[in-house]
Structure 1
């Protein structure tokens, strides 16, 4: 489960990198597409305007001939046959602007209609005095138009206009946009696949580290091995250094615990021996009583310190089945006079994420307690429950007996340190409390209930591997 969570975390990072890179690629290509389309459209418009300006200058030159503006002057088609085709979208027009008298001449293509005049809102005035813009034509065509006011001296002032069908601009730009869109779509797909490859290849060393850490936690390895890229190598070195430092701390803690145990046991033994010499003295009896309490306390807390140090060791995994089988054989020998049958069922592949001796101590206490109170049968069941995707699997060890059982109040009492309900049974009263504290150190717990076979049920929950 932990491996799956790490895998999901790596995949999530890869997904975020991929989506981020793809988003930037798409945004950049879209912006670039708009810019290129706009630049190309402006280039097409400039080319179209140069063509219209050429017709405009030619028309002005013809209108400025000596016999202009005679009504019978035969204007040419300006080299463009479309000026001769009615409503073709290509028009020219010469209109007098300094007289109330209507004096308009136009191309045959304009038929009997007139072109719309540009103003400050619909046209742009160039430094050469030519106004350029878009207007609607006779057939609601969109026209690109250029016009210029020309003074012919005594003949008057005229507005000379040339218009062309803007469909050419639209079609040319649309064709460019289609090719541009296809090219950018292909480029996007290539970049996306390239990004996928780069992300997966770039994160491969992180996946190796994740797999190596999983191997360390499962006990299959002790360090991160192999060559890593320069960017990842410091992480691997620091991780190995942290693992080594952790082991050194644990070893020092174990050494200090052992030294403390020996240092305290010797004075206690001296006190006990001196008190035994004066066994009849009430004061000596009290000293012996309190010395026993001190021994229990020292043993209890030293054991907790020893276990807490072991729990911090990375990568310790214990097979559960051999431990249970070994305890079953041992307890059958210890309690052979009661002829108790100890049955074991459950998951033979179950593994405990912790030290073997801790598992033996916890389960051994439970089985020993069950054998003390059972009439004829003890049943042990081992299960591994997978909870949810964000929580690790848990090991469940259930010990049932067919003894007298306990009431809810008694179950609460026996889990306390030093509490015994029956002084006729051997023991110090520390067994269940030690199990509770041991399980808590492993983020587990012990619960007591009623057994289906009539006695007490003890369910020990611990982290599984």
Structure 2
């Protein structure tokens, strides 16, 4: 898992949880505040209701004695604050009302489906005379022989709505600021909390590319065991590969001694056809031993630690060497190389692969060999850049069948040319060990084109 991907997922997850929690908390707080505002409003209405009921129960009361109830809004016409006393035991109800009601009547809560509570009242929202939304409390009162009454008090519910809306605005602003702070805090925690994992990822990439050998530096206590175990794994892998190299070397040396004895004995009987056959097969065995020793050497280096080699200087050194070797034939070797090109591997291996190709081109060229070095960007996300070395000659070239043949170990098209026939097969094997490839085709200048693809940095 890449650290950046993990950081993105953690950030999105944390942000989502923060938003959900704050949204739920905001809804709960808004609901609690609205209920608290309604309860405070209801206590005010009940106070007026008890005052009116007490006045109704007093035999010598007059409407003027409790007309305002200490609230001027009961005097202001259609103010939204009203009280009403209706006689409930006569066919033609006698109604007394606050001046604010003018000539209007309050609706009955029972008609709006409100039931009596345990306190003997009905409570809820109704529409007022002028279409206002009212919060109204209503209570039936039985005074015995003095009659039955229905006492109602209503207040403008806009107060409740305005208070709740104002609280919601402040709450929303506060939670928005809190969300921003929490998101920034989450970003900080994710960014710096996962920084050690990113550093480990980069260090492992450096190890793979040969820029480092171990995970270095101090890590948090939670990450330190991972770094420690990774270093232990690298050391164990190095030891295993080193033991394998030692065993391969010992086996090769153990085989070389009997081979030398066989060759010496066969050479002493040079005229014997059987001895000649033994010498021939002994040479094949020596080539095979050398070939597999080289494969083991390269594989061991690749498995443990890679290195970085600048390509242009290595190719230039090859050009000078090949010009000296083929001086008597007058072969011109041209180079077009990217000076920034770097091979993710050892110089010795690059020289062996490129040297085989250039030497082969010089053997078959008429007068000209061309070498081009390119660095290609990654073909897909997560992949590394690739190094392409193109060697062209102006020789006779090869057919498709011949190109397939020369890539096989020990196959030679012309016995008059020096060599063992292992050159191109060694290039193919070494390139494969590095994760690269070799392809043969037709060169624009008329001969063979060899394209070597290797990992770059």
TM range (shorter): over 0.9
Partner of 1:3: none
208, 215, 236: which is aligned to 1:245? Answer: 236
1:424 positional shift: 1.4
Contact 1:113 1:138 in 2 (8 A): yes
1:384 aligns with 2:375: yes
Q: Which residue of 2 aligns with 1:397?
A: 389
The answer as to whether partners of 2:137 and 2:152 remain within 8 angstroms in 1 is yes
Residue of structure 2 in register with 1:189 after alignment = 180
Q: 1:350 aligns to what? A: 341
Q: Which residue of 1 aligns with 2:87?
A: 96
From 324, 331, 337, the equivalent of 1:340 is 331
Once the 2 structures are TM-superposed, how far is the Cα of residue 358 of structure 1 from its aligned partner?
1.5
* Aligned mate of 2:222, from 200, 208, 231: 231
Of the structure 1 ranges 109-118 and 389-398, higher mean CA displacement relative to structure 2 is found in 109-118
The aligned counterpart of 1:41 is 34
* Alpha-carbon distance in 1 for matches of 2:247, 2:415: 35
Q: Describe the SS at the equivalent of 1:222.
A: coil
User: In 2 relative to 1, CA 50–16 (structure 1 residues): closer, same or farther, beyond 3 Å?
Assistant: same
Q: Bigger CA drift: 397-406 or 235-244?
A: 235-244
Check whether the contact 1:362–1:438 (CA below 8 A) recurs between aligned residues. Answer: yes
1:381-420, Cα deviation, whole Å (9 max, x unpaired): 1111113443210001111111111122221221122221
More displaced 10-residue stretch of structure 1: 9-18 or 413-422: 9-18
- The answer to whether 1:435 aligns with 2:427 is yes
Higher alpha-carbon deviation: 417-426 or 16-25: 16-25
Q: Answer yes or no: is the 8 Å Cα contact 2:338–2:373 preserved in 1.
A: yes
Q: How does 1:119-130 map to 2 (within 5 A)?
A: 119=110, 122-123=113-114, 125-130=116-121
Q: Distance in 1 between matches of 2:64 and 2:194?
A: 81
Unaligned regions of 5+ residues in structure 1, if any? Answer: 1-5
Please tell me whether the aligned partners of residues 82 and 90 of structure 1 are also in contact (alpha carbons under 8 angstroms): yes
Matches within 5 A, 1:64-463: 64-67=57-60, 75-119=66-110, 122-123=113-114, 125-388=116-379, 389-463=381-455
TM-score between both structures, scaled by the size of structure 2: 0.94
Q: Unpaired segments of 5 or more residues in structure 2?
A: none
1:445 and 1:462 in contact (8 A); partners too = yes
Hey, what's the Cα distance between the residues in 2 that align with 1:190 and 1:342?
66
Mapped to 1, the partners of 2:147 and 2:10 lie a distance apart of 72
SS in 2 for 1:87: coil
Aligned-pair distance for 1:124?
A: 5.7
Matched residue pairs, number?
456
Q: Contact (CA 8 Å) 1:89, 1:137: kept in 2 or not?
A: yes
Aligned partner of residue 452 in structure 2, secondary structure: strand
Distance change (3 Å), C-alpha of 1:316 and 1:261: same
Q: Distance in 2 between matches of 1:131 and 1:23?
A: 43
Question: What's the CA shift for 1:212?
Answer: 3.0
Q: Give the C-alpha shift of residue 122 in structure 1.
A: 4.6
Q: For each residue in 1:108-154, what CA deviation from the matched residue of structure 2 results, as whole angstroms up to 9, or x when unmatched? A: 21222222222497536432111111111111111101111110111
Q: Secondary structure at the match of 1:123?
A: coil
TM-score by length of 1: 0.92
* Conservation of the 8 A alpha-carbon contact between 2:306 and 2:346: no
Distance in 1, Cα, partners of 2:227 & 2:116: 69
Shift of 1:353: 0.7
